[in-house]
Amino acid sequence: MDEIYHPPVKRSVEIAGHKTSISLEPLFWELLNDVAQREALPLNAVIAQIDAERLEADTPPGLATAVRLWLVADLLKPPGEE
């Protein structure tokens, strides 16, 4: 159970040709990798999709927050709804 309380880990990603870094807890990195595998997309492509969606929001959150929120929303989707 302690591993879910691991501090954030910073990783470099590339979004729309620009390099940036994101700090997320390992649990969120695991969930992102699961989504990437499920969708048969590179991890950077999944993050780029989340980034594009967050920028359409009236008050866009930071990228790390957007990733966390998107992953929770993805987990809450009813089975079969993608």
Q: Is the pLDDT of residue 2 over 80?
A: no
Distance (Å, whole) CA 21 – CA 44: 11
Could you tell me the pTM of the whole model?
Answer: 0.90
Specify burial of residue 74 (Cβ count, 10 A radius: 0-12, 13-18, 19+): middle
State mean pLDDT over 10-38.
95
State mean pLDDT over 12-25.
94
Question: How large is the angle between the packed helices 63-76 and 43-55, nearest 10 degrees?
Answer: 100
